[in-house]
Amino acid sequence: MNTLQYITKGLLRLAYPDDCPGCRKPALSGHLFCSECTYHLRINDMHRYRDNLFTLHFRGRIPFISGTAMFIYRKGGRVQTLIQSIKYRGSKHTAFKIGLLYGHILKSAPLYQGIDTVIPVPIHPKKKKIRGFNQSAWFSRGLAQQFDVRHDTTSVVRLEMGPSQTKHNRWERAQNLIHAFGLTGSPSLEGKNVLIVDDVLTTGATLESMALTILPAKPASIRFCTLAMGLR
């Protein structure tokens, strides 16, 4: 083990809790999850490929470089439990630590080189007040820290709270999101290589709306990343 690997391993041990966030059992030493959750919560390899299940949502619709999700979401599975724990039980630090873990992987991936700005999908201030935090922002904060780049939570704002998107199809979601986001212009995104981050990819309507909001600012490139994605 070289010096960098030793330091990285030490930092990960300090960052990760003793309890597994997937089931609350003891985590493996130096790891985020326990052995059982490590087996079930398998990180996929979508980040290695320009064309994958994630990018199929956007091809021919908007200009982008690549897209990836850390986990595949299946109803009733451990990924659902993990996301619900983050989203509804206030486990924002778990989202951050998972972002650190995935960022450690992505920063070495060829398709994710050159990123200099990470932007989470914002939530409406009213929803943030109710929930207390934006889970996507905490996940993206971990990613940005690993990439050692700007974590931008001010360039894009949520203008409309909108209805729950859970039971809507792609067209209905897209209609609900037409005026959902706004560009503030501060800081400038011109010439930036942007990574847009959300918690779950379902139809792709939210990320597409975010990209369309950002494009007038003339970024150099756009990439996408989510904690999980559902299978159609």
What dihedral do alpha carbons 41, 46, 47, 52 form, nearest 10°? -150
Question: Whole domain around residue 156: which residue ranges?
Answer: 42-230
Residues 30 and 47 in one domain: no
Number of domains in the chain: 2
How do residues 86-104 score in pLDDT, each as one tens digit? 877 767 888 999 999 999 9
Residues 2 and 99 in one domain: no
Residues 46 and 31 in one domain: no
User: Whole-prediction pTM value?
Assistant: 0.83
Residues 146 and 201 in one domain: yes
CB 96 within 8 A of CB 88: no
Residues 167 and 214 in one domain: yes
Residues 94 and 59 in one domain: yes
Give the 3-state secondary structure percentages of the chain, helix then strand then coil, rounded to 5.
40, 20, 40
CATH code for the domain in which residue 109 is found: 3.40.50.2020
- One DSSP character per residue, 147-211 reads HT-EE-SSSEEE-------TT--HHHHHHHTTTSEEE---S--TT-EEEEEEEEESSSHHHHHHH
Residues 67 and 114 in one domain: yes
How do residues 9-30 score in pLDDT, each as one tens digit? 444 444 544 677 777 778 777 7
Residues 48 and 8 in one domain: no
Residues 60 and 123 in one domain: yes
How do residues 41-98 score in pLDDT, each as one tens digit? 889 999 999 999 999 999 999 999 999 999 998 888 888 888 887 877 767 888 999 9
β-partners of residue 148 are none
Residues 27 and 108 in one domain: no
β-partners of residue 200 are 228
Predicted pLDDT at 32 = 77
Residues 35 and 120 in one domain: no
How do residues 122-174 score in pLDDT, each as one tens digit? 998 887 777 778 999 999 999 999 999 999 999 999 987 655 555 555 545 55
Residues 133 and 193 in one domain: yes
Q: Which helix (H) or strand (E) covers residue 92, if one does?
A: helix 92-106
